Amino acid sequence: MHIHIENDASAPRALHLSVEQLQLQLDVHPPLRSHFTLSENRDPAQTADFLARCDILWSGRKLALDQFSTPRLGWVQVMSAGVEQWLAHWPQGVTLTNASGVHGDKGAEFILMAALMFNFGIPGFLQDQAQRVWRPTFGGCARGKIVLLLGVGGIGAAAATLLTAQGYRVIGVTRSGQCDANVARCIRIDALDEVLPQVDVVVSTLPLTPQTRNLFDRRRLDLLTARAGIVIVGRADVFDYSAMREKLNVGELAGAVLDVYPQEPLPADDPLWHTPGVVMTPHCSLDDHSAYLAGCLDVFIDNLARFRHGQPLRNQVDPARGY
């Protein structure tokens, strides 16, 4: 079988997988050695030729597969966790696996850091610093405060462990109302409204699907109290950013730590830049370039072994659900 590698030419070199790197991994796994041929494309103009003869695709860039002839393609491994752009025109009969879980450790630390920022009033202090205002506020410890965790996948589950160890009471939110993560309780999405008035921090790691788009609209934001902070590291369009910004402007939220935005890069004239209580990072909270490629490659090698033995693949995406 033939594996083809499509790297993103605009991505850092640390995120490029070479034929040599993949071959080394195959050679140290006897069940995989000598069972695959490999190719790597360095010229996007030749992508169609490579896709026409590959059985498995490793892709570091987004491709509209319906624009290519892929008669042999049976499986695509992508380097991202979010796959909504891939699924827009997904061909039937092709398996898709993503990089879910690779972001877990760093994402969990970022989420814990953001939650603690609200506990100590850091978003407000940053605003005061910019205005040269001396305004002490005195709060308590994190223990017992409630974090609502929207999504308890690889990142969410890792965050739940750190938050719980810090003393937070974590409520997970999933489609089924069930999860294996270290949470105090887990609820279904349709039970959100009844818990929102109790919440101190809302954390979203959710992917963008038809069910999650605008899940946190103005009505749901209005159910939060002024002490609540928001952390978004999943897809931005799960939230109504305009409504969130309006509530921050009038002091009806404690702040927001945002790593993702409806448009990226965020335009220089976007009012979010000077919204009070907002701490912004430029979509870099989850990725560790020193370890990311290796983590994705671990998933891929494991899946290659499963693929050869006809076993279910890790991180297999359900196109109907969008994740």
CATH fold label, 2-102+288-308:
Rossmann fold (3.40.50)
Phi, psi of 143 (to 5 degrees): -55, 130
> Mean pLDDT in runs of 10 for the chain (323 residues)?
95 95 94 93 91 96 92 96 87 93 92 97 94 92 97 94 98 94 96 97 95 96 98 97 98 97 97 96 92 95 94 93 86
Q: Please check whether the domain covering 104-280 is classified as CATH 1.20.1250.20.
A: no
pLDDT for position 42: 84
Per-residue CA distances from 271 to 184, 244, 257 (Å): 37, 12, 15
- CA 186 vs. chain centroid, Å, equals 20
* DSSP H or E stretch at residue 279: strand 278-280
Q: How far apart are CA 188 and CA 229, in angstroms?
A: 21
Q: What tokens appear for 274 in the block? A: 């000077």
pLDDT for position 82: 86
Q: What tokens appear for 239 in the block? A: 């939230």
Cβ neighbours around 321 below 10 Å, total: 12
Model pTM score: 0.90
> 206, 230 in Cβ contact below 8 A?
no
DSSP 8-state class, residue 74: -
pLDDT for position 320: 85
Is 2-102+288-308's fold the same as 104-280's? Answer: yes
The residues pairing with 169 across neighbouring beta strands, listed in sequence order, are 146
- Give me the residue spans of the domains in the chain: 2-102+288-308, 104-280
pLDDT for position 287: 87
* Long-range Cβ contact pairs of 117-121 (< 8 A, separation 24 or more): 117/229, 117/255, 117/257, 117/279, 118/200, 118/201, 118/229, 118/254, 118/255, 118/257, 119/145, 119/200, 121/254
